[in-house]
Amino acid sequence: MVPESLSPSTYVVADPGAELTEAFASLWLEVTRAGGAVGFPADAPAADVRALAARTLDQVRAGQLHMLAVGEENDLAAVVFLRRGAGPVVSHRAEMIRLMVRPDLQGRGLGGSLIDAAIRRAGELGCDQLLASARGGTDLPGFYVARGWVEVGRFPAALRITPDDVRDEHWLQYRIR
Ligand SMILES: CC(C)(COP(=O)(O)OP(=O)(O)OC[C@H]1O[C@@H](n2cnc3c(N)ncnc32)[C@H](O)[C@@H]1OP(=O)(O)O)[C@@H](O)C(=O)NCCC(=O)NCCS
């Protein structure tokens, strides 16, 4: 569980096991059902969310994604991933993706701490800058801007949540150095 102080200890997950894989799928599903902006509409089939969660952790095992987590292996509180640019021209940057905090723990500083940890981790990996994208029509772009990120672009109608709910995608950059 998360310590009472909510001064979370964030750790790197390099080789997620079966328990953590299950906990991650449950976290993603819970966040999705609560309307979180992490790749699915709120009513997405559970099997789809679980399948993408499993594939995501395969990429962690393969070293294609870097995972940071808060919470127990069987009861995750929050996660975020870094995807470093592949190839010499973009390897100085990473994309920060799938930031999610368990709904009952949101609004208590965990997400902000995890972003700070992701920035530190990206710096350790040798990255100079981060890119994040956020769903339009939410306050999420403002959430990043309030933390020192700069909105550098907007991809109109990039996200088709449902056929009737199409949103822009906001691109946000954080310069580490
Ligand atoms: C977005 C999210 C990661 C933020 O984490 P958190 O732990 O709830 O946020 P924190 O407690 O660190 O920060 C709270 C601040 O963020 C704002 N905030 C939190 N969730 C927000 C949201 N969905 N939209 C806009 N602002 C939000 C709060 O208003 C609060 O502002 P304040 O610091 O000025 O008071 C979390 O709410 C979450 O997991 N949401 C569902 C998944 C999701 O949408 N992920 C975004 C991917 S881009």
Query: What local confidence, expressed as pLDDT, does residue 8 receive?
Result: 63
Inside any domain, residue 1: no
- Could you list the residue range(s) of the whole structural domain that residue 65 is in? 10-175
Does 169 have pLDDT greater than 80? yes
Pocket test for ligand 1, best of 38, 101, 133, 167 (most atoms within 8 A of CB): 101
Q: Is any atom of ligand 1 closer than 6 Å to the C-beta of 70?
A: no
Query: What local confidence, expressed as pLDDT, does residue 41 receive?
Result: 97
pTM for the complete prediction? 0.93
**Residue 91 alpha carbon to ligand 1 centre in Å:** 28
Q: Which atom of ligand 1 is nearest to the CA of 98?
A: 47
For 38-48, how does the pLDDT look when each residue is reduced to its tens digit (9 = 90+)? 999 999 999 99
Query: What local confidence, expressed as pLDDT, does residue 139 receive?
Result: 95
Q: Residues 146-157: what's their mean pLDDT? A: 98
Residues 22 and 16: their CA atoms lie apart, in Å, by 10
Residues 69 and 114: their CA atoms lie apart, in Å, by 8
CATH of the domain at 42: 3.40.630.30
Could you tell me which residues come within 8 angstroms of residue 30 by beta carbon, excluding any fewer than 6 positions away?
102, 103
For 77-97, how does the pLDDT look when each residue is reduced to its tens digit (9 = 90+)? 999 999 999 999 999 999 999
Q: Is any atom of ligand 1 closer than 6 Å to the C-beta of 23?
A: no
Inside any domain, residue 5: no
Domain count, the chain: 1
Inside any domain, residue 2: no
Inside any domain, residue 123: yes
For 117-143, how does the pLDDT look when each residue is reduced to its tens digit (9 = 90+)? 999 999 999 999 999 999 999 999 999
For ligand 1, atom 4, name the residue with the nearest CA: 111
For 20-57, how does the pLDDT look when each residue is reduced to its tens digit (9 = 90+)? 999 999 999 999 999 999 999 999 999 999 999 999 99
The pLDDT mean for the chain works out to 95
